[in-house]
Amino acid sequence: MSTQRKNLLFLMTDHQRYDTIDMIQSGREVTPNLNKMARSGISCERAYTTCPLCVPARTALASGVYPTASGVVYNDWEDRTAKPMATIHDILKQNGYRVGHIGVDHIKVLPPLKDRGYDCFYSDREYEQEAKEKGLILKDREDITYVQEKCDDIMGTQGYSGVRVSEWAYPTEEFKDICFLKQAVQFLEQAEEERPFALFVYLWAPHPPLKVPKPYSEMYNPDELVLPDHIGVPAWREPQSRRLGPAAQLAEGVPEEHWKRVWAAYLGLTSLADDVIGKLMEKIEEMGVKEETAVIFTADHGDNLGQHRMYQKMEMYEECIHIPLILHLPGQGSGTIKELVSHLDIVPTVCQIAGVQCSGLEGISLYEFLKPGRSIDRHAVFSQYSGTYGYGFIRRAVITETKKYVFDEYGQEEYYRLDEDPCERKNLAGDPIYRKETKRLHEMCKSYHQARGDYFQWEKAEERRVGNGVV
């Protein structure tokens, strides 16, 4: 391929925790292909999502615009908040790239991605239609757990994928991510010689429901797993309002033995996704374009998996918002970025890799900081949660080099010393010793979100905060 510009292979999984990278369970690496990529590329140790929820996280990542600034702050399946925004797909397409999007389509913009004229578009909708034609039943009522949740200020019943574990009932080649792999390989094989390509592959795994195909369903023995020691244990002085959220309700009454089965299924799906990624990397090498292709891997968010007695995402704990981010850039060598990184940095980074001008973005390009001796002058990143199906339970967070502060609509706070308490087991908010620091972080968090059009009524929540005895 003669182009001087780098191709792009952008890989994303759903619900994948940062600590799955380099994890060993049942005597095997959970993510051997990603481990290899991390060793030969650049691994970001402190990367954070802008939201522990699919649609806001993916829309922010693709547009480079923070959720409260774009207005896409919950899973807006009806496009009530979608706006005419450019995505990184569009930027590359307009600059001569052959663009393909294959996999989960949870990016809410107008017009939708499928109508933007990309060279290839195959999403979960196309997969589901094909599965229906083949007679595959993808949804099982037994997988759904119902919780009470606030949506647009009304309490009601909402359904989520619960902790049920089962085996995928059909041939493995019919599993969603394996079908995505086939489509991605076809796109790569059809890549034109005269244009660089940009392929976005958004995998479903390890997203629940935990239906796992063979051999991945048998890959991890629950009895051999070593789980974190605070499975099923809320943080000390956890705000009472946390038990009202869907993540806490989904984990109620789940015994420790079942959490082992949940982890075994989750790890099996994570290894499936890793195998798909490995096959795509092999395809790039087989095509002879490995040295001309930049590869970026990340996840939209993580999963509590029973820690803090919570399941799925939708909270600000590290298991949810601290995400893996690996960059493999030809000619850049290997190393680690230890500073704070945000999903908002991905669009500027891709633009610099592609030699494309972009402006008006909040994030920074990581490209220059991949060089030895360079460091990022950043002292905080931010994340928000505003409800799942509509405006609901509120979480706002600021993360610094060593601390995390969280504030909600009830005026309840969390403050963790991540350097001393990385598992966030001890909430220090309300302790007089940390009052000054908590207040400073509160003002930082408030200022950041209000500057980005946050609809959250901060002053009203602050009144409740004073009523709680916190000043």
CA distance 244 to 233: 16
Side-chain half-sphere CA neighbours of 104 within 13 A: 23
386 domain residue, yes or no? no
Q: Is the same domain home to 271 and 155?
A: yes
Task: Look at residue 382 and tell me if it is in a domain.
Answer: no
- Is the pLDDT at 467 greater than 80? The verdict is no
The proportion of the chain whose per-residue pLDDT surpasses 70, expressed as a percent, equals 97
Mean pLDDT computed over 297-309: 98
Q: Is residue 383 part of a domain?
A: no
- Looking at the structure, do residues 277 and 170 belong to the same domain, yes or no? yes
Residue 365 has pLDDT above 60, yes or no: yes
Q: 2 in a domain, yes or no?
A: no
pLDDT in tens, 418-440: 999 999 999 999 999 999 999 99
Is residue 56 located within the same domain as residue 176?
Answer: yes
Do you find a cis peptide bond into 111, omega within 30 degrees of 0?
Answer: yes
Q: Quick one: 420 and 366 in the same domain?
A: no
What was the pLDDT predicted at 377? 82
Nearest to 445 by CA among 413, 417, 406, 391: 406
pLDDT in tens, 243-256: 999 999 999 999 99
Taking alpha carbons only, the member of 58, 52, 246 closest to residue 162 is: 246
Reported in sequence order, the residue ranges of 210-275 that DSSP labels E, i.e. its strands, are 210-212
pLDDT at 172 > cutoff 80: yes
Among positive and negative, which fits the CA dihedral 225, 226, 228, 229? positive
| Residue 450 structural domain | 394-471
Q: What is the pLDDT of residues 34-48, one digit of tens each?
A: 999 999 999 999 999
- Angle, helices 176-189 vs 256-286, to 10°: value is 10
Cis peptide bond prior to 330, omega within 30° of 0: no
CA distance 42 to 39: 7
On average, the pLDDT of the chain sits at 94
Domain count, the chain: 2
Rounded CA separation 372/440 (Å): 33
pLDDT average, residue stretch 386-408: 97
Domain-located, residue 304: yes
Dist CA 213 CA 209 (whole Å): 12
- The confidence band for 358, taking pLDDT boundaries of 50, 70 and 90, is confident
In terms of domains, do 406 and 333 share one?
Answer: no
Asked whether residue 228 falls in the same domain as residue 290, the answer is yes
Q: Is 333 left (phi over 0), alpha (psi -120 to 50) or beta?
A: left
Spell out a b/e string for 304-326, using b for 16 or more CB atoms within 10 Å of the CB, else e.
bbbbbbbbbbbbbbbbbbbbbbb
With respect to residue 321, please indicate whether it lies within any of the assigned structural domains.
yes
250: left (phi over 0), alpha (psi -120 to 50) or beta: alpha
162 and 226 together in one domain: yes
| Cα distances (angstroms) measured from residue 257 to each of 222, 247, 425 | 8, 19, 22
Q: Is residue 10 a contact partner of residue 277, using CB atoms and an 8 Å limit?
A: no
Same domain, 196 and 247: yes
CATH number for the domain that contains residue 409: 3.30.1120
Looking up residue 148, the CATH number of its domain turns out to be 3.40.720.10
**pTM for the complete prediction?**
0.96
* Distance from C-alpha of 359 to C-alpha of 351, rounded to nearest angstrom: 10
Angle at 66 between CA 61 and CA 70, to 5 degrees: 105
Residue 192 has a pLDDT of 63
pLDDT over 90 (residue 394):
yes
Query: Quick check: is 141 in a domain?
Result: yes
**Among residues 319, 345, 375, which one ends one of the domains?**
375
Phi and psi torsions of 105, nearest 5°: -115, 85
- Do 367 and 471 have their domain in common? no
Contact 87, 72 (CB under 8 A): no
**E strand intervals along 125-177:** 144-151, 154-161, 165-167
Do 161 and 307 sit in the same domain of this protein? Answer: yes
Tell me 114's DSSP state.
G
- Quick check: is 401 in a domain? yes
